[in-house]
Amino acid sequence: MTVEGGPELAPRIQLTASAYSLNTRSEGGNTLDQEYDQGGPGAGRTIIADAGAVNIAGTDGLTVEGSVGIGTTTPANKLTVKDSSNPTILIANTAINQEQSSRLSFGEGDYTNRMWIQYHGNTDERISINSDSYTNILTITRNTGNVGIGTTGPLSKLHIVNTPVTGAAAPASVYDALTIDSDSGNYINLRSSSSGTYSVGGIFFSDDVRGQGAITYQHRYNNVVVDKMFFNTNNAERMTIDGSGNVGIGTANPAYTLDVAGKIRSSSGGFVFPNGTEQTTAATGDITGVYPEPGEGLAGGGDVGEVTLSVADGGITTDKIADGTIVDADISSSAAISPGKISGTAWTSLNDGIGSNLDADKLDGLNSTDFLSTNNDYGRQGVATDLYEGSTKLTDKYVNVTGDTIYGNVSIDGNVGIGTPNPQSTLAVNGTITAREVVVTLEGWPDFVLKEGYPLMPLREVEQYIKQNKHLPAIPSEKEVLENGVSLGEMQSKLLQKVEELTLYMIEQNKKIEKLEKENEELKNRVSSLEGKNK
């Protein structure tokens, strides 16, 4: 075919004409049909490639003013793709260079105010959404599936980097990474299965070390219901709120509304206990666990006897504890207790021994080494470094009780003798001891007998040792026991060692017996077999 006197086209194309259509066919069998439907110039034009492909090479272009349909002859949009099995549009960059990027752009006619979706190949391998200023808006990485907003290299499933853009509305703070606006309130809901092995949610705060700070809630942990909220700083748990509303500081298991494992300091205002009464004058020195500022008060009250105060040198004076009744309260001081420091007209909670009325001179520290002084024999029922009757120091320091019961703890620095005046050990008893239980602490236990490689003495050598020494190896003889006594803890350990050795002997003998029984059974079977053959 030639066009307007030009050279013949090669390969040759066959032209056929029919009503309102022009059909071309190449020698290779490919067909390109262009049909003209009635209705005006260019109306209803359709280009159909029967086989092969329509190729437009070089700088040539294909302009379609209507709609394009792939897999359909009735495209509903400018480009409609239909297929019976997962229709796919492929945009690929075949060049082997740099990023090997492919993109799909959206914009206005003058190629401005546009955005595009771009695939970055090569080593980057990500899809990004970009603005016309080449600013990356959103990135999805291929290998990790991470999503980045404001970053091309997201390090987590959602990584947001906020950088204010000139001309755009800046966030409330330059440090804001995520802002959620609403006219009816905002909530962030971290959900997990309530029946799962682990039902845990939280927020971590960190820089280069993950989890330096955290707020976490555990409903269930390792199939155990926890129902606690934890607050962490510097990778350590600091505060806990349990399901009952108890708050623990320094403890993960608060037993009270506020449970603090540590010291509490009030820089102003003091402390108010349940009855709301405030003490206006603070004690001199530090109170163990509670540190009031000078000039500030320490509140008192509540259930009587529930608060114990230990005061440093300087003691407690009468003007620092308001009038009232103190029952079963402990007062300790490293300084002496002088007459002016403990006073009162009635101690109604004291048990027997001193009486119902107690004057200031009945408790009097005479010097740094004295503990108790009374005006009569009551001092003989006390325990002290020095005991006095009035101003006369007693020569003996024994504790004599002839009918009363001693309550509380007794601390003695030295040996204690019961039934003997000259104890040679920490506790010496000349008589019988009756106890519900005796616990002896040891530095070792003979489990080494049951470890692999223990040198168990052969029974023949044990027999020879017994014949020669008349007692078991490693067990003291009768003479040694009569001279030195027996250490209960050590003897219990040695006896257990012998029991474990005896167990090993029995196991060894049992193995030999089982072996002999097996051999005996085999011999019996052989004899029976021989007898059967001789019949």
pLDDT exceeds cutoff 60 at 306: no
pLDDT tens digit sequence for 91-101: 777 766 555 67
Cα–Cα distance, 453 to 475 (Å, whole number): 22
pLDDT exceeds cutoff 50 at 164: no
Residues 354 and 395 in one domain: yes
List the beta strands (DSSP E) in 91-191: 102-106, 115-120, 126-131, 136-141, 147-149, 158-160
What's the mean pLDDT when you consider all of the chain?
Answer: 69
Domain boundary among the residues 385, 406, 434 is at: 434
pLDDT bracket for residue 514 (50, 70, 90): very high
Residues 45 and 111 in one domain: no
Contact (CB, 8 A) for 301 and 323: no
Residues 429 and 454 in one domain: no
Contact (CB, 8 A) for 126 and 142: yes
Asked if the structure places residue 502 within a domain, the reply is: yes
pLDDT bracket for residue 82 (50, 70, 90): confident
pLDDT bracket for residue 443 (50, 70, 90): confident
Residues 348 and 428 in one domain: yes
Q: What is the pLDDT of residue 347?
A: 38
Average pLDDT over residues 25-37: 49
pLDDT tens digit sequence for 266-284: 776 666 555 545 443 333 3
Lowest mean pLDDT among 37-41, 398-402, 424-428: 37-41
pLDDT exceeds cutoff 50 at 333: yes
Task: Please report, rounded to a whole number, the percentage of residues in the chain having pLDDT higher than 90.
Answer: 14
Asked if the structure places residue 392 within a domain, the reply is: yes
Q: What is the pLDDT of residue 117?
A: 84
Lowest mean pLDDT among 41-45, 160-164, 386-390, 402-406: 41-45
pLDDT exceeds cutoff 90 at 177: no
Q: Domain range spanning residue 66? A: 13-81
Domain boundary among the residues 413, 434, 455 is at: 434
pLDDT exceeds cutoff 60 at 76: yes
Order of strands, sheet of 372-374, starting from the edge strand that comes earlier in the sequence = 372-374, 387-389, 392-393
- CA 45 vs CA 13, 18, 40, 53, 71: distances in Å: 21, 15, 11, 19, 17
DSSP H or E stretch at residue 31:
strand 31-35
Q: What is the pLDDT of residue 343?
A: 42
Asked if the structure places residue 374 within a domain, the reply is: yes
pLDDT bracket for residue 11 (50, 70, 90): low
Average pLDDT over residues 318-323: 44
Q: What is the pLDDT of residue 259?
A: 93
Q: What is the pLDDT of residue 521?
A: 93
pLDDT exceeds cutoff 80 at 417: yes
pLDDT bracket for residue 511 (50, 70, 90): very high
Asked if the structure places residue 303 within a domain, the reply is: no
Asked if the structure places residue 528 within a domain, the reply is: no
pLDDT exceeds cutoff 60 at 167: no
pLDDT exceeds cutoff 50 at 40: no
Asked if the structure places residue 172 within a domain, the reply is: no
pLDDT exceeds cutoff 80 at 313: no
Q: What is the pLDDT of residue 512?
A: 92
pLDDT tens digit sequence for 452-487: 989 999 989 999 999 999 999 989 999 998 988 888
Asked if the structure places residue 294 within a domain, the reply is: no
DSSP H or E stretch at residue 517:
helix 488-534
Residues 397 and 484 in one domain: no
pTM beyond cutoff 0.85: no
pLDDT tens digit sequence for 208-247: 666 678 899 888 888 888 899 999 998 899 999 999 999 9
Cis peptide before 294 (omega within 30 of 0): no
Asked if the structure places residue 217 within a domain, the reply is: yes
Helix (H, G, I), strand (E, B) or coil at 408: coil
pLDDT tens digit sequence for 51-69: 555 666 666 667 777 888 8
Picking from 348, 349, 344, the residue whose alpha carbon sits closest to that of residue 362 is 344
Domain boundary among the residues 113, 129, 160 is at: 160
pLDDT tens digit sequence for 98-129: 556 787 887 776 666 788 888 887 767 888 88
DSSP 277: B
pLDDT tens digit sequence for 340-368: 444 444 333 333 344 434 443 334 444 43
Residues 344 and 422 in one domain: yes
**How many independent structural domains does the chain possess?**
5
Q: What is the pLDDT of residue 200?
A: 83
Picking from 358, 359, 393, the residue whose alpha carbon sits closest to that of residue 379 is 393
Residues 450 and 470 in one domain: yes
pLDDT exceeds cutoff 80 at 499: yes
